[in-house]
Every structure is written in C-alpha cells, then in structure tokens.
Amino acid sequence: MSKSLKDIAKFLELECEKDLEITKLLALKEADANTLSFFHDAKYLNDLKETKAGAVILEEKFLEHLPEGVVALVTDEPYKKMALATSLFTYTPSVETHEPKLLENAQIANSVNCGKNVTIGKNSKVMAGCFLGDSVTIGENCIIYPNVTIYHECKIGNNTIIHSGTVIGSDGFGFVSKDSSNTKFYQIGNVVIQDNVEIGANCTIDRATLGSTIIKSNAKLDNLIQVGHNCQIGEYSIVVSQVGLSGSTMVGQGVVIGGQCGTAGHLKIGDRAMLAARTGVTKDLEGGKVYGGFPATDIKLWRKMQVALLRLAKGK
Amino acid sequence: MSKSLKDIAKFLELECEKDLEITKLLALKEADANTLSFFHDAKYLNDLKETKAGAVILEEKFLEHLPEGVVALVTDEPYKKMALATSLFTYTPSVETHEPKLLENAQIANSVNCGKNVTIGKNSKVMAGCFLGDSVTIGENCIIYPNVTIYHECKIGNNTIIHSGTVIGSDGFGFVSKDSSNTKFYQIGNVVIQDNVEIGANCTIDRATLGSTIIKSNAKLDNLIQVGHNCQIGEYSIVVSQVGLSGSTMVGQGVVIGGQCGTAGHLKIGDRAMLAARTGVTKDLEGGKVYGGFPATDIKLWRKMQVALLRLAKGK
Amino acid sequence: MSKSLKDIAKFLELECEKDLEITKLLALKEADANTLSFFHDAKYLNDLKETKAGAVILEEKFLEHLPEGVVALVTDEPYKKMALATSLFTYTPSVETHEPKLLENAQIANSVNCGKNVTIGKNSKVMAGCFLGDSVTIGENCIIYPNVTIYHECKIGNNTIIHSGTVIGSDGFGFVSKDSSNTKFYQIGNVVIQDNVEIGANCTIDRATLGSTIIKSNAKLDNLIQVGHNCQIGEYSIVVSQVGLSGSTMVGQGVVIGGQCGTAGHLKIGDRAMLAARTGVTKDLEGGKVYGGFPATDIKLWRKMQVALLRLAKGK
C-alpha cells in the first residue's frame, strides 16, 4: 500500500510542507524514510530524536527535537490523528477463498479456508475448519489443529504447534477515548511466531498496532492466554493458562509465568524471572528473581505479607 | 410459541384457576398479559406489586401482593417450577442449514452456515466458518471475522465488528441445585448487540435466561471476556481482556473496566466508573469514581491498604 | 499401538534386561503387565511398591522398592526419559475426513468433520463446523453446538451438552525444562466426559498426559474454563466461569467453585466444599467447608483479614 503524504495530511486536516510516498506507519524506532510515525508520549523522546521516519505527527512544542529533514505534521492531538491515519492503511477483509501454495508434503483438510497468497511449508498439516487469511505463511513441520484462525499477514515459523480455537492476529485493543467517543486505532501490524513454539487451545494473540507481536523460538504457551498487541515473548519462556499480557509487555528469555498472572502494558520482565500463579505485574521486573502477589513483589516478601495479615486478623 | 396456562400448570403439577394463552416467559418487570412470570426473591417485591404479567408462579404467603386479575400458580418452589416451565419454551437446535437473506452488497463466505430466517444487512461481511443460528439478524456494515458462532434469535446492530472465536448467545449458566440434583433453567432469552460495538476474539456472551443480554452502542470489548446472562453494558463503555461479568451485572455508560476484573451477579456499576485491572466487585459501585482491589474499594484506599500491608510485613 | 521394551530402551539409551510387549504408558497406579510406567517423585513411593506395571523407568536408588518381576529401566532422569518414551506412542494427526457411524436418529450438520471410527449415539445432534477426531464417541441425546473441537480418542457420555468453541482433548501442558530446552511430554491420554454434563462456551479441557481427564456425571461447567491434564471433576459439581484447574486437580462430588478461582496442581478439593469467587487454592481442601481468598482459607477468616487490612490502612 502506498499513499502520498499530502493526501494523508489533507485527510487528517493538517498542514504538510513537503510531499513523500508513505508505504508504512510505524513507531519512531522502527521507521524508515517511507514511514509516517507519531510522537505522543514524552517517555519516547529519545526515539523522536533518533528517528529515521520520513514524517512524524507531533505537537508543536516538540518540533525542536525532530531530526533534520523529517517532515512534521503538527497537531494538538497526535495520538488521535495517528489513529485516523491508520484507517487509510487498514486491511479490507474479503469473504473470497483461494487455493494455498502447498510445499512438499504439506497437507490441508478439505474444509480449510485460505485467503490470497497463503503458503504452507514442507510436511506441515492444517486440520479441518482452520482459516488462514491473506498472505499468511506457515513454516515446515507444523501442526495447526482444527478450528484455528490466523488473520492476514501473520507468519508462523517451523515445527510449531497451534491448538484448536486459538486466534492469531485479531485486532489489538486500541481506541482513542475522548468526549464520549471511541475512535478506533486500526491495527495494521501483524503477529510473528518463530520456530518450535507451542500454543495451547483458545488463546488470543493480537496483531501489533504497528509493527509485530512476536513469540520467539521455543516459547510454550498453555490455554486461554491473552497476548496483547506488540507484546514479545522471549525464547524458551513458558506461559501457563489464563495469563493476560497487556499491550507491549516485553517478556525476556527463559521466563516462567504462572497461571492467571496479568501484566499492565508497556513493561519488561527480565530474563529467567519466575512469576508465581496469579501475580499481577504493574512495573518492570528484574530478571533471575522469583515474584508473587499483586502488585508483584519478591515472593518471600509476599509470603510474609500473607502471614502478617493472617496474624493481624487473628489478633495475635 | 404459544401454550395454554392450564397445560403448563398441569406439567408443573400446580393448580390453575383460569386459563390464558402464554406466549412468553419473562421477569416480572418486563411481563405483559400473555406472559408467565415468577417471584422468588423478596428483593423484587415492588416488581411483583406492579407486574403486568398474565400469570405468576409464587409462594402462597406473597399472594396478597399480586395485582388484581393476575393468575397465581402457587408453590413452595417457585424458582424450580419456573425452571421446569422454561423446558416447555426452549429452542430445539437443528443441524439443517438454510440460505440467508443477503441485503444489498452483503457478502458471506461459502463455508458460513446459517439456520432459518437469517438476515445479513447492507455491506456486511460474514467470513469463513461462522455459524448464524435461526432468526439471527446482522445489521449494516458489520464485519464478522472467521469462526464466530451466533446462536439463534440474537441480534447484531450496525457497524459492529466481532472477532474470531467469539460465541454469542450460548446458554447462561442456570441450574437449580437441590438435594444432589442440578435442574437446568433453560435459557430462553437472547443477546442484543447495538451499533458501533467491537467485540474481541474468543469472548463468550451468554443469552439471557428470560429477556435479553444487551451490549449497548459504542461499547468496546477486548478478548476472552465472559458476559453472563442478562448483563447490560452501557454506551461507550470499555471492557479489557479476561474480565468476567456474572449474570445480571448492569454496567453503566462510559465505564472503563480493567483487565481480569470480575463482578458478582445482580449489581450495578455507575456511569463513568473506572475499575483498575483485577478489581473484584461484590456490590453496587457509584459512578464517576475510581476503584481497585477485592472487594472493590476506592483506589486510593486500596493503595493505602497495599502500603500498610507491606509495612506490616517488614515490621516497620 | 505396541512396541517391544527392548526397542524403547534402545531409543532411550537405557539398559534393559528382559523384553516385553508394551502397549501403553501409564502412571504406576493404573499400570498393568503390558504397561511401561515411571517413578520420579518420592510422594508416590507407595504406588511404586504396589505397581502392576510390566516395566518402570526409575533412579537406581529406588530399585529396592520395585515389586519382584517388574523390569527396571534405570536412569538419573526418569521424567525426561518418560517424556521421550511418550514420543513413541503419540498420535499422528491426519487431515483426512471420514463418515461417522450414526446410531438411530443421530444427526450431524453437513459441515461436521470426523476422523476415523467416530460413533454418534442415538438422538444426538452435532452442529455445524464441529470436528470429532479419530475414535471419538458421542453418547445418546447429546447436543454438540457449532464449532466445538473434540480431539481423537475422547469419549462423551449420554445427555451431555457442549457449547460452541469448546475444545476437548487438546494437549496437556507438559514440558521437561532443563538447560534451556523444553522437551515435550507427549500427551497420550484422553478425556472422558460422563452423563448429564453441561460444558459452556470456549472452555478448554486438556487430555491426560497418561490415562484420562474425567468430568463425572451431572457436573456443570460455565464458560472459558481451563481444566488441565488428568483433572477429575466429581459428580454434581459446579464450576463457574473463568476458573483454571491445574493438572491433576481432584475435585470431589457436589463441590461449587466460584468464578475466576484457580488451583495449583496435584491437589484435592473435598466433597461439597464451596469456594467463593477468585479463591486461589494452593493445597488440599477438606470437604463440606466454605473457602475464600488466596491462598484459600476459611471464608470467615478471610473476611476478617479484609476487615483487619482496611482498619490498618485507615489507621484505626
């Protein structure tokens, strides 16, 4: 997809001094010369200063931090304007089905439905009732169990197993709420699942708002897990049933997340951290430690808290 | 569907002094002259006094509150008798599929299965593997993503998006447990989803026991959310992933419910209330305030509770 | 399936003094003469002493407890070796579909997909988009709502209702994590659902690692519930929405488990216990009592804990 920056600016009702061909919308950090990006949170000021974007939507007061040559679209509401811009780049779903490309010994059940340009790798099996959207690719030696849905543009690596009912690439939850309105921030990224991953039944792994939600090699996910837009789950990490990861949670390598844990968004869990069941994570967690409770704390301290409360209640 | 009150009473092994044509079973408040209703909870005494029902199942001691002209079916077990009555009005699922009525430019994938009398509105798309039960209607400009299931009689408004794997109209969880038996309270209501609603992936929205479960216009639901029978979610409200709303939870307008929250049944959350992630609601919450914790309390107080507990554990 | 013990031992790189025909892998307690079992947890020493297995994988130091005549496969890593052994007995999924055997008046929708040797009992209905794997049997008078997935070898009793999107028999979550690797413990058991059971929408009920996950007669499950491998849910028990039962949780008879509860694995909940919503169970619970909180405790004590904490925070 490709649009002129002038046309985009016109649609957004913003001034635009120079035209450009825009092919992608991405975060400041991932942007290149044909990308329109946006800046709406002072936390990412360094990303603004170093962006390679072609154009950026931002407030006037941050103009001074914009690298030379980057075109500015100035507004008081950069987040809302970017949301509107995503509507120009969003995918239009189609009810048509097409023949997928089956590589050597790949097999699909008759009832599988595919969009355009789907490729299924060597020795992989896609079972009954699955849906694979436009441009989905499945690697080698995968098993996709019945009734899995994989939305357009998502990529599945090699030796990966996905259990029934799981949905990969549904829209991330993004709305700009203001004055009793909920403007949709169209979710124009995708999901990338690497190699040797196993994902349980009835999970939901949302596509990225911009860019990719990534499940790295050898990660193992249990059932009924929610992975929000733009999350990353590191190599060899284990996520137990009913965990919910809010948008942009960054899970390190070799992390173990117990059942029914939850995380607030935009935080990091360090390598080899272990979270007891039902831990509620509200800020970054250092790697190599064991956590419990809500808000998450050192597990020993959390156990002390339980004991102290019990004593208090018993009047001892 | 239509039955004579005498026949119903006979089936329930109850006396009945006057015959009536009964076409519906509904709560006291929603009942009209051709409705059989029931009274089993003193909390709803005002509804009994003002009911417009044709007939009511109730205990003898409440007879004095029954409006004049309403036929009484007297029993010691009104809840169980009503449960039995629902078995006479329940829907019999069919494995047959039928052609839906497609309004202008509506499109469905070949693999969509429909019951009888399904209508799909202008410009709407229903994607592969969806099931739409008898008498389902879909409004205009909707997108129903692959592998969604919508049970019989449910109604979807205009400009609504439903993501994959979501189930709309499954039975509410209703059993009369007594003496080691679980009698099913058949769920004979439906689900009504209004306009501009978005519902994420793998949610479950149960049909009402009697009447309708209602998701009002502009509400936005994330993934893996449970909405119990007879819930209402108000306009512009936002519900984050993995929330569970028990039966008859009434969520006001512009409410924000954070991830993994839960509510006990039969309670109200006032307009513009905000619930932090993982809040557990056990009674009505006033609108316009921010809550956290379990049981839900003022968020500032809840934070103080966390700090106090931490201090106690550390012996300070 | 049948393999020689010598061949299995060779694959595992273990010594084997005597050959046997091995047809099953099972826990020590359930094993018979043609079974290979394993011992990896001192907690089950009595099971070892009384096992009827043909052969057992175990550490050298426990050899003395092995009943006479049982063949030993000695290793320092019995759990990992058993995991490897399961790979020899695991099922290979197939994308082919077959005609099921329909008993008197059984009905299936056209779009239902079945594996080999599927039998559907008298008067049962299987609705659109369901998948029934190899050797699945459905009893009499069942309703399987649209888009349910039942994996190979699972058994459904009579008068059972399963709502849409539910997945029965997906792999239990079993990995041997060591030195940055996650070796899959193949899940070669099944799920048995007895009579008069109702299971809500979008639940996940994992097959047993070895043996069966069992939902007993008259149990009722709400929506979005996770039942781990080898769990048992007793007769007449009620499980409310979004509960998560970890592997090998043994739920007694007439138990009520409130919404969003969770259990750690390998524990027992006694008959007629009641768990308030959101209870987190970390050890065995005696029957006939009411529990709340996390970790689960007597509900009255838990309420006192809440009150005490509130007072502390308010400085009273």
pLDDT in tens, A228-244: 999 999 999 999 999 99
Q: Do B312 and A307 touch (CB under 8 A)?
A: no
Q: Which chains touch C (3+ CB pairs under 8 A)? A: A, B
- CB-CB neighbors (< 8 A) of A207 in chain B: none
* CB-count burial class (<10 Å; 0-12, 13-18, 19+) for B21: exposed
Integer angstrom CA distances of residue B119 from B140, B161, B248: 10, 16, 28
Distance between A16 CA and the closest CA of chain B, angstroms: 32
Residue finishing a domain among C50, C69, C89:
C89
Q: Please give the share of chain C, as a percent, with pLDDT higher than 90.
A: 95
Q: Name the nearest CA neighbour of A172 among A158, A193, A186, A153.
A: A186
Is residue B95 in a domain?
Answer: no
- CB-CB neighbors (< 8 A) of C111 in chain A: 111
A296 touches chain C (CB under 8 A): no
CB count, 10 Å around CB of A310? 18
Is residue B309 in a domain?
Answer: no
Q: Which residues of A are catalytic?
A: 229
Give the pLDDT band of residue C316 (cuts 50, 70, 90).
low
Q: Which residues of A171-209 are buried (b: 16+ CB within 10 A; e: fewer)?
A: bbbbbbeeeeebbbbbbbbbbbbbbbbbbbbbbbbbbbb
Residues B58 and B26 in one domain: yes
Residues C211 and C299 in one domain: yes
Residues B145 and B240 in one domain: yes
CATH number at residue A133: 2.160.10.10
Mean pLDDT for B98-110 is 98
Residues B85 and B234 in one domain: no
Mean pLDDT for A42-65 is 96
What was the pLDDT predicted at A316?
67
Instruction: Give the residue from chain B lying closest to A282, CA to CA.
Output: B277
Mean pLDDT for B267-292 is 98
For residues C233 and C239, the answer to whether their CB atoms sit within 8 Å is: yes
What was the pLDDT predicted at B166?
98
- CB-CB neighbors (< 8 A) of C161 in chain B: 171
User: pLDDT tens digits, residue range A99-156?
Assistant: 999 999 999 999 999 999 999 999 999 999 999 999 999 999 999 999 999 999 999 9
Report the C-alpha gap between C174 and C127 in whole angstroms: 32
Sorted by sequence, the CB contacts under 8 Å of residue A267 that are 6+ apart come out as A248, A249, A250, A281, A282, A283, A284, A285
A-C CB pairs within 8 A amount to 144
Amino acid at C263: T
Residue finishing a domain among B40, B65, B89:
B89
Write the DSSP symbol of residue C118: -
Amino acid at B174: G
Mean pLDDT for B57-71 is 97
Question: Which domain range does residue B74 map to?
Answer: 3-89
What was the pLDDT predicted at C177?
79
User: pLDDT tens digits, residue range B134-176?
Assistant: 999 999 999 999 999 999 999 999 999 999 999 999 999 999 8
Give the pLDDT band of residue B179 (cuts 50, 70, 90).
low
Is residue B292 in a domain?
Answer: yes
What was the pLDDT predicted at C217?
97
Distance between C50 CA and the closest CA of chain A, angstroms: 33
Report the C-alpha gap between B197 and A109 in whole angstroms: 34
Q: Which residues of B149-176 are buried (b: 16+ CB within 10 A; e: fewer)?
A: bbbbbbbbbbbbbbbbbbbbbbbbbbbb
Residue finishing a domain among C140, C165, C190:
C165
Is residue B305 in a domain?
Answer: no
Is residue A42 in a domain?
Answer: yes
- Which of B165, B198, B277 lies closest to A167 in CB terms? B165
Number of domains in chain A: 3
Sorted by sequence, the CB contacts under 8 Å of residue C183 that are 6+ apart come out as C80, C83, C84, C175, C176, C177
Residue C25: alpha-carbon gap to chain centroid: 15
Strand order in the sheet with C262-263: C113-114, C131-132, C149-150, C167-168, C204-205, C226-227, C244-245, C262-263, C280-281
For residues B61 and B122, the answer to whether their CB atoms sit within 8 Å is: no
Instruction: Give the residue from chain B lying closest to C243, CA to CA.
Output: B244
Length, in residues, of chain B: 316
Q: How many CA atoms lie within 13 A of B216 on its CB side?
A: 14
Give the pLDDT band of residue A179 (cuts 50, 70, 90).
low
Residues A117 and A24 in one domain: no
- Alpha-carbon Rg of chain A, whole angstroms? 22
User: pLDDT tens digits, residue range C126-159?
Assistant: 999 999 999 999 999 999 999 999 999 999 999 9
CATH number at residue C24: 3.40.1390.10
- Which of C125, C236, C306 lies closest to B295 in CB terms? C306
A178 touches chain B (CB under 8 A): no
What was the pLDDT predicted at A178?
73
Q: Does pTM top 0.95 for this prediction?
A: yes
Residues C179 and C252 in one domain: yes
User: In which element (H, E) is residue C56 found?
Assistant: strand C55-58
- CB-CB neighbors (< 8 A) of C154 in chain A: none
Q: Do C202 and A202 touch (CB under 8 A)?
A: yes
- CB-CB neighbors (< 8 A) of B218 in chain A: 181-182
Lowest mean pLDDT among A167-181, C181-195, C232-246: A167-181
What was the pLDDT predicted at A176?
87
Residues C150 and C287 in one domain: no
Residues B249 and B270 in one domain: yes
C313 touches chain A (CB under 8 A): no
- CB-CB neighbors (< 8 A) of B109 in chain A: 95-97, 113
ipTM of the complex: 0.96
- Which of C202, C294, C304 lies closest to A313 in CB terms? C304
What was the pLDDT predicted at B17?
93
Phi, psi of B44 (to 5 degrees): -100, 25
C244 touches chain A (CB under 8 A): yes
User: pLDDT tens digits, residue range C254-297?
Assistant: 999 999 999 999 999 999 999 999 999 999 999 999 999 999 99
Q: Which chains touch B (3+ CB pairs under 8 A)? A: A, C
Residues C136 and C267 in one domain: no
Q: What is the mean pLDDT of chain C?
A: 96
C87 touches chain A (CB under 8 A): no
**A positions 137-156 inside 8 Å of C (CB):** 143, 145-147
The conformational region for residue A297 under phi > 0 = left, psi -120 to 50 = alpha, else beta, is beta
Q: Mutate which of A102, A108, A125, A145 to disrupt the C interface (most C C-beta within 10 Å)?
A: A145
Which tokens belong to C87? 């790979």
Give the pLDDT band of residue B183 (cuts 50, 70, 90).
confident
Q: Do A97 and B109 touch (CB under 8 A)?
A: yes
Q: What is the mean pLDDT of chain B?
A: 96
Residues B110 and B80 in one domain: no
Mean pLDDT for C69-94 is 95
Residues B149 and B273 in one domain: yes
The conformational region for residue C57 under phi > 0 = left, psi -120 to 50 = alpha, else beta, is beta
A-B CB pairs within 8 A amount to 145
Q: Do B200 and A202 touch (CB under 8 A)?
A: no
Query: At what angle are helices C5-12 and C78-89 packed, to 10 degrees?
Result: 120
- CB-CB neighbors (< 8 A) of A128 in chain C: 95, 97, 113, 131
Mean pLDDT for C225-240 is 98
- Which of A110, A146, A240 lies closest to C173 in CB terms? A240
Write the DSSP symbol of residue C99: P
Q: How many CA atoms lie within 13 A of C225 on its CB side?
A: 29
- Which of B202, B223, B241 lies closest to A165 in CB terms? B202
Residues B21 and B158 in one domain: no
User: pLDDT tens digits, residue range A268-287?
Assistant: 999 999 999 999 999 999 99
